[in-house]
Amino acid sequence: MNKQSIRVGYVLKRYPRYSETFVVNEILAHETVGLDIDIFALRPTNDSHFQNIIAKVRASVTHIHKPIQGRGSDSLNTLSPNAASYFWAELQEISLVIPDFWSKLAFAAGERASTVYQAAWLAREVGLRQITHLHAHFGSVATSVTRLAAHFADVPYTFTAHAKDIFHNSVDPEDMRRKIRDSAAVVTVSNYNRQYLRQVYGSVADGVQRIYNGLDLTQFAYASPRNRPAQIISVGRLVEKKGLSILIDACALLKQWGCDFQCQIVGTGELESKLKAQIEALGLVDQVCLVGARPQNEVFELVQQAAVFAAPYIIGKDGNRDGLPTVLLEAMALGTPCVGTDVTGIPELIRHEQTGLIVPQENPNALALALQKLLENSSLRVKFATEARKLMESEFDIHANATSLRQLFQSPSKLENLNSHLMAIGT
């Protein structure tokens, strides 16, 4: 790849985010080979803790602010008079940078005012910075803005679909179909996701490609789990789809069975008080601890001290579920065997009886039995951990996977492909 040939704008709803280390890993891998990147965030971050590796990113970060609005729906009718004047002045300034901007504006019919404004502003930056390609993470608002900006600025765009942006009840199928159709390429993070998109969206999604999230494995020193204490660990936001109430119920069973163990749950979230109450009600205060958020290096230490990582993920009532959590890759790279559930692409990573154990979701008894099995069998822990590390090295290396993604950044857009095809047949 000629590293000077492309300049990529990464578009994210929020940046940085504590829970989205996969984005940072990807950007750092691109920067390692000299790819020029600009990061654009549509909303300010709302996290109070950040992972250490964010400081390694060299790319500039630009926050695209929304226009000031009045109450009500997101439309031009709700903008205050001053904000409306500002919005119009901004569009006129943008038109000086983007050729035939006004004729292209019809493409935005039906979109939210804030989406149009942010897309136009992003398109202006694309022109000024000579960005050649846009890539969004998550097929929700970040891709909505990216799709319009790419049209305005006449550059191709791609996006990576993950989990909530695919499965949540709020996903608008027609909107997603447009995004897939107009993109140069769509990436998703598991074979499960790819199959789901093809089933739901038909032929328009035939070209969706699976590129796994990855890790810089030079930063993860493997350690054998043979002689670790009977410690269970789980790391993630304290939200429904993480299934942590199931883990706590499983811990209650382990206690009933006379199993000697400790369980640490790392993270914060909306269910914190509910989970604390559950721990107290089940008499697990001495066994289960919510330790809050921790810096990444400290999380790695905790994971590598544990005998087993618990990933009791479930499909939420709103359809939301995890795609392929980076923390599982991290645990497996560090040598901590995992117990996970049969949700989305997780069995592609935790391969049952090969790299870990898979149990049915929302089944505390099955989860407890699997945890007990690994807590009490050090040879099995070593077997799974060894195979898991090999899998990380063969399929989840961020440098190899980022290379695949960069090849998509250099590929022609679907529109260019179509034009070439029409010329070839003489149409």
Amino acid at 116: V
Which pLDDT score is estimated for 224? Answer: 98
- Taking alpha carbons only, the member of 171, 241, 160 closest to residue 201 is 171
Which pLDDT score is estimated for 167? Answer: 93
The DSSP-derived string for 259-308 is ---EEEEEB--TTHHHHHHHHHHTT-TTTEEEEE---HHHHHHHHHH-SE
Q: CA 136, CA 158: separation in Å to the nearest integer? A: 7
Could you give the count of Cα atoms lying within 13 Å of 173 in the half-sphere of its Cβ? 8
112 part of a folded domain: yes
Residues 325/311, Cβ–Cβ less than 8 Å: yes
- Taking alpha carbons only, the member of 47, 49, 51, 52 closest to residue 293 is 49
Same domain, 131 and 165: yes
What total number of domains does the chain contain? 2
Buried b (16+ CB within 10 A) or exposed e, 258-284: ebebbbbbbbbeebbeebeebbeebeb
Query: How many C-beta neighbours within 10 Å does residue 315 have?
Result: 18
Query: H or E segment at 161?
Result: strand 157-161
Same domain, 283 and 406: no
- Taking alpha carbons only, the member of 5, 7, 413 closest to residue 185 is 413
Same domain, 140 and 103: yes
Give this prediction's pTM. Answer: 0.88
192 part of a folded domain: yes
Same domain, 183 and 93: yes
93 part of a folded domain: yes
Residues 278/353, Cβ–Cβ less than 8 Å: no
- Taking alpha carbons only, the member of 258, 256, 260, 257 closest to residue 232 is 260
Residues 182/414, Cβ–Cβ less than 8 Å: yes
Residues 188/162, Cβ–Cβ less than 8 Å: yes
Q: Give the long-range contacts of residues 124-130, CB within 8 A, separation 24 or more.
A: 124/93, 124/94, 124/97, 124/98, 125/9, 125/38, 125/40, 125/62, 126/9, 126/153, 126/155, 127/97, 127/98, 127/153, 128/97, 129/7, 129/9, 129/38, 130/7
Same domain, 175 and 225: no
Residue 45 sits in a domain whose CATH number is 3.40.50.2000
Which pLDDT score is estimated for 50? Answer: 61
Q: In angstroms, what CA-CA distances link 227 with 254, 336, 382? A: 20, 12, 10
Same domain, 186 and 278: no
Same domain, 389 and 407: no
Same domain, 263 and 142: no
1 part of a folded domain: no
295 part of a folded domain: yes
Provide the angle, in degrees to the nearest 10, between the axes of the packed helices 296-305 and 326-334: 50
Q: In angstroms, what CA-CA distances link 306 with 267, 332, 337, 424? A: 16, 12, 9, 60
State both tokens at 319: 């359809």
Q: In angstroms, what CA-CA distances link 371 with 80, 136, 149, 349? A: 57, 37, 48, 18
Domain encompassing residue 177: 7-214+398-424
Same domain, 228 and 333: yes
Tens of pLDDT along the chain (427 residues)?
444 478 999 999 998 876 688 999 999 999 999 999 999 999 987 766 666 778 899 999 999 977 655 444 455 455 566 677 777 888 888 888 888 999 999 999 999 988 999 999 999 999 999 999 999 999 999 999 999 999 999 999 999 999 999 999 999 999 999 999 999 999 999 999 999 999 999 999 999 999 999 999 999 999 999 999 999 999 999 999 999 999 999 999 999 999 999 999 999 999 999 999 999 999 999 999 999 998 888 999 999 999 999 999 999 999 999 989 999 999 999 999 999 999 999 999 999 999 999 999 999 999 999 999 999 999 999 999 999 999 999 999 999 999 999 999 987 555 454 344 334 434 3
269 part of a folded domain: yes
Same domain, 192 and 294: no
310, β-bridge pairs: 339
Same domain, 343 and 410: no
Same domain, 126 and 185: yes
286 part of a folded domain: yes
Which pLDDT score is estimated for 272? Answer: 97
Amino acid at 7: R
2 part of a folded domain: no
